[in-house]
Structure formats: structure tokens, C-alpha cells
Structure 1
Amino acid sequence: MTLPSHVPVLIAGGGPVGLTLAALLAEYGIASLTVEADDSYCSGSRAICMSRRSQEILGWIGADQPLIATGLAWTGGRSYFRDREVLHFEMPHDPLQRYAPMVNIQQYYVEEYAHQAMQRHPGLASLQWSSRVAGLQAGPDGVSVEVETGGERHTVRADWLIACDGGRSAVREAMGLKLEGMQYEGRYVIVDIEQESQRPVERLAWFDPPSNPGSTLLMHRQPGNVWRVDYQIRDDEDPEEAVKPENVLPRVQSHLDMIGETAPWKPLWISIYNAKCLTLDSYRHGRVLFAGDAGHLVPIFGVRGLNSGLDDAGNLAWKLAWVLKGQAPDSLLDSYSVERVHATRQNLAYGAKSTEFMAPPDFGFRLMREAALRLALADESVRPLINPRQSAPISYDASPLNLTDGLPRAGQAAAPGQPAPDVLLQDGGTPHYLSANFGAGFVALALSPDAGLSAELDVLAAATQGAPHPLRVLRAGADGLRDEHGQLRQRYGGDAGTVYLLRPDGYVLGRWQAPAPAALRAALAPYYPSLTLGAPTKGQA
């Protein structure tokens, strides 16, 4: 492949975040070039737990179905102190939901499915393996990027450069930026083994197990008869020695013996890890934006690493597309940084709490953990302290995009800046998930609108038909989508005339009770230039 001299978007890093971002941009009609230093997908399981939100984002590019078909869904897990169970947790879920709370699948599958989604847009999304960013010069109108490939250097001019090149980001280094925060000394050996097992799919954790005294050990089943095993090593152990097979395999065998897994097994991959709570202060630096591990490193405990990176991609893709299509000024991208830095700081706070329990950094934390575990043996009220705090979508409560709340007393219903809860509605006899409408344009969700409001919404939608991704109106009620399971009433309120405006990434922009046409037009005008405040609505024509 000959590298182009110019691209609208150059993505540094062809891991799951970079490939998903490229596919999302292609869905919006935005051309990109992704350069990846490796010559293929990653080796080893790496990130394995895909949250419901990540499955939804992958659904926007058509990568959810192969992931679900291959992956192993799970809803809860168990924790043990030594050899006794002290916690059995279940994540919120019900059989009507579109996606499981979590799916276990090796990272290389996610990369493959995102790449396949890119390949459905050959004129828009291209990937260059064995290529890396070797230097860059950023200016007010774009970035000149030196790309090294095939032993040669090429200059590619990009309107926007997106750094998705991981924890050792070459883009971040070239710009002289540093991640700030803390990292923990405790190290975990990570092992993939192949072994047949009949155990249910759930997260398993042992604290001070007889098989590995003094350690914490985690297990997850994965596709292909693969166990992922993570175990903590002592502070005085040499990391290079700790990952040698002669030191790893006896520890794994000891634990398999303890839990009664007697089938033959073989190791597939061994690595080592220590938890980090690090982030950039901003994910936008002029025409350079950061996503995934290039911008933040989150502890694995609570599975917020890759899941937060995919959420970065879902947040960034529509905003960058709106800017490149001339639908919004590039100041819209400032909100990407504001929202996702806020998300990272929340993820880091949760991740730090989980890390301090899973890998206590000092004697005081170890003492408190052992006290909680001992009490949990006899007192159920203590057991929630052992909960690993699994990943959950973040609310952008202080986002600059949030509109003044028109339903401030709506109780538990989703407010501006919060993720729009999915609901299962009925379109005639066909199931219709609200989340299936995300990943494109804005959505107006109207609950039992009267004839006047319904007509006004049609006028607004018609006025956006010339946009790349026009407004879509969804009506719920007697003459529209039916809320047969009561989910819409529960999660959005049931008052007739309520209108929610939902962003392309599935977040609530604003909500009102019987809104005036001018209020809806003003809310959408920043994203649809055709909706000028001076244009007449149906009622004013």
C-alpha cells in the first residue's frame, strides 16, 4: 500500500480502540488511515471483559453479532477467602435486555471484528500494518506526521491526528506530554491456558488461596477452552523470573488441583502487569486528540480499561464527523476532552478502590482487607465491601453540551448528561430496542405526543433531511412504538408530551414536558445548521 500524502484523519494505533474509531468514522462517511506498528492483531488475551456499553458501541459498526456469537456472556461471580466462598454477586440484568452485562472474549477477536467492520468501507477506512509514527509537527490547520513503514519514512498530512497508540504512545512522547497520577507496586502474572472445563462462566477470585498462599488469584473462562488466570506475586519476587514457565506452571497446576480442574492443559501466553492510575489533563491538543491507553491507563480491576477506550471512540467519532462535515465548529471537540477526562477520573477512583482491595499497597490496606474477608465469612452485611465494582457507563453531569433540564423533578428518569437507558419497545409485532437508533444522528423520543407536537417534530426532522445524518423522531404511545413491558414509563417517565433529545452516542442532550417548537429548534440548531432560529415552524408558517 502506498501511503497517501493527505488524509482527513490519521489514527495512530490499530488496536481495538483505533480500529473501532476508524470503523465508526467510516459509518459517518469520514475517511481515515490507521497505522499500526505490529504486523497483525495482538497476541494473548489482554483485555477480555466487554461491557454492555461496549457491545452497544460495537453494534454501531456491526461488530456486535460476531462478538456475541464467539464470546461467553456472564452476569456475576464469586469470591473466596482461602477456600470458603464470601461473595456471590450478580450484575443488574434482565432477559429483555439487548446485551448481557459482560461478555468474555480475547482482545484479538475484538480487533478482528472491528477490522472487518472497517473493510466494509474500503474507500473510507484503510489500515497499514508494520507502520508507526516516527515524528510529527502540529499546526493550527492540521498535522504533518512522519510515518515509518517498510524501512522508509513518508510524510502524511492529516487534518486531525488521533493517538490510539497505547500506554507507550509515540504521539504522546513526540508532543512531550506525560501521563499524571500514580501506579501500584503490586504485580500480577497473567496466564492463558487451554483446558476443557464444564464450570459456568463467571468471574472467580480467591484471596490467600491454599494453592497460592498470600496471593490473590482471578480466573475467567474464555472462548476456545481458554482459562485466563491472573495471580499476584510477592513484592520481593523478580518480575523477569516470575514469568518464566518453570515458575508459572507449578502455581497454575497447584490452583487447578485445588479447584478440581483435572483435564489436561497447556500454557498459551504469559505476561505481567501492575496497576496504574494515570491520565493526561486534556485529550485535545489542537488538532491532536487522544483516546484509549494513549490518554489514560486504568487498573484492570473493574474492567474499565478497554471499555473506557471504546467509550472514548464512541464519544469522539460523532463529534469529529460533525466538525469535518461542517455541521459544527471544532470547539465541539473540546467537549470530548471535558467529558472523557471526567469519565477517566471516575474510572480511576473506582479502579483505585478495587486495586487497593485486590492488591493491597501496604500493611494497613492488607489488614483492613483481611478483617473484611474474615467478617464476611459470618456476616452477609460485610460482603458488599468485596464487590469488584464492575464497569458502568459514566454520566457527564457537567458537560458543556447539557441543556437546562426541562424536567428537574422527573425522579429516576435519565437527565441531561446521563446515558439514555435502553428499552424494549414494540413496532407492530417487531421488537425495537431504543439503543438500535444510536450511532447515527440525533434522536427525538416523544412520549404520546399530541397532534400539534407530533407535527412540529416532523417539521424539524424534515428540515434536517439534507444533513449527513438527519434527526430521527421516535414516537411512543397508542399511535407509535408500544411500551408493553413498562420500561419506558419506568426509565423515562410516562407523562404524555414528554420529549427527550438524545445525542448520537446515546446520551441525553435535553428533556422537556410539552416543549415549545422554538426550544427544540434552539437545542438542535448547533448541530443542524439548517435549523436557524429565524426559520418558521409549522405553527408559525
Structure 2
Amino acid sequence: MSVEFKPYPFEAKRYDARIPPLADGRETRRHAVTIVGGGPVGLAIALGLANHGIASVLIEADESVCYGSRAICISRRSLEIIERLGALDGFLTKGLPWTGGRSFYRNDEVLHFTMPQDDNQKLPPMVNLAQYHIEQFLLDAAEKRADLIDIRWRTKVTSVKTDADGATLTLSTPPGDYEAQTDWLVAADGGRSTIRDALGLKLTGTSYEGRYVIVDILLDSPRPTERLAYFDPASNPGSTVLVHKQPDDVWRIDYQLRDGEDADEAIKPENVMPRVQSLLDMMGETSPWSPVWITIYKANALTLERYRHGRVLFAGDAAHLVPIFGVRGANSGIDDADNLAWKLAFAIKGIGADSLLDSYSDERVFAAHENLSYGTKSTEFMAPPSFAFDLMRSAVLSLAVRHPGVRSLINPRQTSAISYTKSSLNAASDAFDGGPAPGAVLPECPLTIVERGDVRDGHLTDLAGPRFTALYFSENGDVPAGLDGLETHARTCGIPFELAAISRQRPSDPTRRTAWDPTGRVFEMYGAQPGALYLVRPDGHVLGRWLHATAAQAVVALDHALNA
């Protein structure tokens, strides 16, 4: 349920439905992949598949990108993924970066937190950007890949039949209905997933009773971009309030309803406006403001037990519902897309075994439980589910005013990259003194990249891409001839692959893509000495690492990952 006022300072393009060529009510062409859901997750999967040359059909029930702020915080990890998808520029140009936030108990500040940010980083830890912008920038990138991404607007799935070879969908559009067949079906159709219901699958976990009203307002304010949390504020006693600044002078306000408040009454403008005004008065905001959108939210910590069901794969909110506290919703969905796209593409091309997709489910179910664990802790602090939790929170907040040591308990636990430490894909590796272990994502570091005579400033993650990447640590940029067997094996098997050197010294005449470490940080950061090798997956997670690598070790690791 939601209430709309004047439109956002954003105009979405509207799209018409279209029907492809049919024979007896069925589309004449069978598709390799059909993605249901044109939100951030569905678009990210389509773009990820396109990076590997795999065509997909994307089914979307609406006629445009979404309305309302919905997801608003995009993490550094998601930005890294979005860069690989070719859509980063809009996120950085339009989004508002931030590094931390403050929490208040009544009139006192009880926490000032910052997220990891240093000179090594290429991207901010978080940007605020409304979901309609998120979808639009991904859509812009998808429309540039129209040869591989077929988007069908105003098209609803009304039934699904699955078999060992794929699925048959019945699709409804204003011009008429038709059937479509697909080898693989990806359900990215949100929390009320039609595909999940059609397969009779249920999310399990915890649904919280606490409800939040979400209000977007237009307000011109010079305040910095940061996460603001108010516990038991004078403007709304007994409640918790969250405030986020967004682009275009849009502000997102989430406030908790008290026990017994009627949800239908709570979102009526005559009840919302006074609470918002009281909050702004408390914050010292004196500029005129106007509401744009009002809706209501209930926290859920739910997941499917498996994200693969034969030829049907689930991602995003269709697979799991994560509380908004800690901003893990859209970010975990984008991580799903990054994990799924390369594995599905490799399975379709025959580069990897069909079982590679089981690792998608294993890794992302593990990630969901990690996210739900942190999200649950944040939710129970933000909206205590019982008298005991409420008593504990009140004690912590009261003590935090004068005892800094207690303030860590107020930690909002912002999202961070998940390490697949127990993944079946991880290779047997050597023990390093530091650096990312198998399953972890690559830590960032500035480097000077030398390629085909071109020298430019860059970062370590620029060396990775939608392929397997071997990072060889070298004294002067030279790579031993023995590692040529790794490149030969990858080329023979059709595996997208690149071997790049990371050099202590500036290389004189590199014969391959080479990165020079002018800061002297990267070797220590990775626990590496000359001769070390990191093998990295297409989604930026470490597959294996060796102190004195041989081609045979890396080949075994590649074959194991693709055929486990």
C-alpha cells in the first residue's frame, strides 16, 4: 500500500508491450535464458550474461522502471560489480557518496561510525541513489546490448510448467497472451514472486511485527550525506527514525509505528505530515518541504532453502527477503546476479558442468544466512521484538551517552562483501602470511597499469573482469615460461582467461598486461613474494593461491572449479 503525491524529479520512459512471432499461440523461437523481473537484479543478470555472449529474454510486468525510492544504498562491492556490467558512470555521477553516520538517543549523540575508506580505494563505501535511478542506469546499459538482451515490458507470467529441459511460460500482455519456452528460467521477480508460487516453494525464517512508514520528501538542505538514526526522539517518542539524503533534494525518512497503530491510518497524509514536520523541526531544518511518496514496510528475514530447482534459478527478493537495516537487500541481490551470471553462461557454453550451478545455490544460500544473521541483529535493535529486547536496548542507549565502550553495540552493521570460505570451488592452496584467502574478494590497491605501450593509473580490480584471471607477483614484470601452459589450457578449453603480472619495479618492456606497484603496498597486502600466484574467478572471488605456483596447480584448480 502506498500514497503518491507530485512526481519525483525524474521522468521514466514508458514502454509498450509487444508480441514476438507466434505459431499456434506459442513463440516460434525457444530461448536459452528467460529472466522474469526487470528490477536491478534481473537487469544485472541479463548484463552479466551478455558479458559472456549469452542472449536472454527479460520479462517485466510494469511499463517502466519502478516508482518510489525502495532500495537507496549501493555498496562498494555492488559498485565493483556494476562497473563490470558497464553501468558505473551514472551511479557515480548521480549518486551521493557517504562514509558513515550518526545515531542519537533522545537528544544525545551515542554513535558516530565510519565505514572502511582509505587511499587504496577506487570506489566509495556507499552511495545513496533511489531505485528508479538504479534501474534506469542498468536499463541504459542493457539497451546498448539489445543484440543480446530482449526486454519485454507489460508482460506478466500467468503460469509456469517445468520439465527436465527447461520451462514453458504462459505470458499475458495487453495485445494478447502467448506461450514461450526456455532452457533456463531465472526468477528475479521480487518478494511476491510468481515463479516461486508456481513451483509451490516457501520462504522460511522470521517475519517481524514491527512496521515502518517510509516517506520520501523534497527538501533543499545543505546537510552532508550520512546515515542518521534517532532512537526515542522527541519528535516521535517511543519510535525509531532513519533519515537518508538522496540526489535531487529527495530525502528518505523511515519511522517505526508504535504498537497498536493502524497501518491504513498511519499512511494517511494527515497523519504523516505532522510527524515529518516534527522530525524536521527537531533536526533544525527550516526550508519548505513537500511529500512525494508514502508507503509502509515490514521487516522480514526469510530465504528459500535452495536457489536452484532443476532448470529454475532464484535470485534477489524472489530467493530471500532481508531487513532494510544494514542495506543488504538490493546489494545481496546484485551479488546473486554476479555469482549466477558467469556460472549459467559457462554451463550453457559447456565450459563448466551443469553442477556448477549447484555451487551458485550453495554459496548464495550461505551468503543469505550471513546477511540474515546481521540483518536480524540490526532489526532487533532498531525495532525490539519483545519487552526483554526493548529493555536491553534502552540500557545500551542510556549507557552509551557516557560510556563510549558500549557504543559498538549500536553498530548498524552495514553490508560488506561475503567470503565463500567453505565453497566447494575453492582450490587447495598454500598458507600465506596475509591477503585474501580462497573465497574472499580482492582487496583494492592503486596500481600503474601498463598494456600495449599504454601507461595509466588504475587499481588492482581493473585487472580482473568477466573471466578467470591469474595474478602473478613478479620482481620486474617477467612471467616464467612454465606458466604458459595455464594460458594454453584455458585457450584450448574455451575458458575466458587472462594472466597478468604485478611487478615490484616498473617493467621496461612488458609483453603482457602488467601492473606496477608505485606505492609498495600490494605485495604486503596480498602476503605475496615474487613467484606467488592468485587465481581469481569471474566474480572477483579468489579461487586459489600459491607461493610458488606451477601451471599444473592452477590447471587442476580451474578444472576442479568448473567440473566439481
Q: TM-score, normalised by structure 1?
A: 0.95
Query: Does structure 1 conserve the Cα–Cα contact (< 8 Å) formed by 2:438 and 2:545?
Result: yes
Give how far 1:92 is off: 0.6
Counterpart of 2:458? 432
Moved more, 211-220 or 483-492: 483-492
**Who is 2:294 aligned against?**
270
Query: Which residue does 1:20 correspond to in 2?
Result: 44
Alpha-carbon displacement from aligned partner over 1:84-124 (angstroms, at most 9, x marks no partner): 11111010101341110000000011111111111111111
Matched, 1:237 2:261: yes
- CA offsets 1:74-93 (integer angstroms, 9 cap, x no match): 00000000111111101010
> C-alpha deviations, 1:163-196, integer Å up to 9, x for none?
0000000000000000001111000000000010
In 2, Cα distance between equivalents of 1:311 and 1:59 = 13
> Within 1, Cα distance between the matches of 2:193 and 2:546?
43
Q: How does 1:12-411 map to 2 (within 5 A)?
A: 12-150=36-174, 152-407=176-431, 410-411=432-433
Sequence identity percentage: 52
Aligned partners of 1:277, 1:486: CA distance in 2, in Å?
A: 43
Task: Answer yes or no: is the 8 Å Cα contact 1:282–1:338 preserved in 2.
Answer: yes
Equivalent AA in structure 2 for residue 69 of structure 1: T
> In structure 2, what is the equivalent of residue 413 of structure 1?
435
* Aligned equivalents of 1:113, 1:314: Cα separation in 2: 17
1:472-522 alpha-carbon deviations (Å, 9 max, x no partner): 111111334222223312321131111010000000100111123321222
Q: Is the 8 A contact 2:425 2:560 kept in 1?
A: no
SS in 2 for 1:198: coil
Structure 2 SS opposite 1:185: strand
Please, what is the CA RMSD of the aligned residues? 1.7
Question: Could you tell me which of 535, 541, 544 is aligned with 1:501?
Answer: 535
Residues 380 and 321 of structure 1: CA distance in aligned 2, closer, same or farther (over 3 Å): same
The one-letter amino acid of 1:427's match is: I
For residue 305 of structure 1, what is the amino acid of its counterpart? G
Deviations 1:102-150 (A, max 9, x none): 0000001111111111111111101111111111111111111111112
**Equivalent residue, structure 2, for 1:534:** none
Provide the C-alpha distance between the structure 2 equivalents of 1:508 and 1:354, rounded to a whole number of angstroms.
29
Give 1:464 shift. 3.1
**Structure 1 285/207 Cα, relative in aligned 2: closer, same or farther at 3 Å?**
same
Question: Match for 1:95: what amino acid?
Answer: D
CA distance, structure 2, for counterparts of residue 147 and residue 449 of structure 1: 59
Q: 1:451/1:354 Cα in 2 relative to 1: closer, same or farther (>3 Å)?
A: closer
1:152 Cα deviation from its structure 2 partner: 2.6
The letter for the 1-side match of 2:234 is P
| In structure 1, distance between residues paired with 2:188 and 2:475 | 43
- Give the C-alpha shift of residue 453 in structure 1: 5.5
Which amino acid letter does the alignment assign opposite residue 2 of structure 1?
A: I
Post-superposition Cα deviations, 1:298-334, rounded to whole Å, max 9, x if no partner, equal: 0000000000000000000000110111101111000
Alpha-carbon distance in 1 for matches of 2:471, 2:251: 43
Deviation readout 1:242-272 (Å, 9 max, x if unpaired): 1111110100000101111111110001010
The alpha-carbon deviation at position 528 of structure 1 amounts to: 7.8
Give the distance between the partners of 2:478 and 2:35, measured in 1 at CA: 46
Point out where structure 2 has 5 or more consecutive residues left out of the alignment: 1-17, 21-26, 508-513
1:519 maps to 553
In structure 2, the residue corresponding to 1:156 is in which secondary structure? strand
Amino acid corresponding to residue 441 of structure 1 in structure 2? R
Give distance in 1, aligned partners of 2:149 and 2:265. 42
Name 2:19's counterpart in structure 1.
2
Give the secondary structure class of the aligned counterpart of 1:481.
strand
**Is the Cα–Cα contact under 8 Å of residues 20 and 115 in structure 1 kept in the other structure?**
no
Report the CA distance shift for 1:430/1:96 in structure 2 as closer, same or farther (over 3 A). same
Q: Which residue of 2 aligns with 1:447?
A: 473
Q: Matched residues in 2 for 1:161 and 1:501: separation?
A: 30
Q: For residues 103 and 199 of structure 2, what CA distance do their matches in structure 1 show?
A: 43
Shift of 1:436: 2.3
Q: Which runs of 5+ in 1 are unaligned?
A: 530-541
Q: Deviations over 1:360-397 (max 9, x none)?
A: 11111111101001111001111111110000011111
Amino acid at match of 2:468: F
TM-score, normalised on structure 2?
0.91
What amino acid sits opposite 1:392 in the alignment?
S
Matches of 1:304 and 1:373 in 2, distance apart?
24
Offset from partner CA, 1:189-235 (integer Å, 9 cap, x none): 00000010001110000000001111100100000001100000112
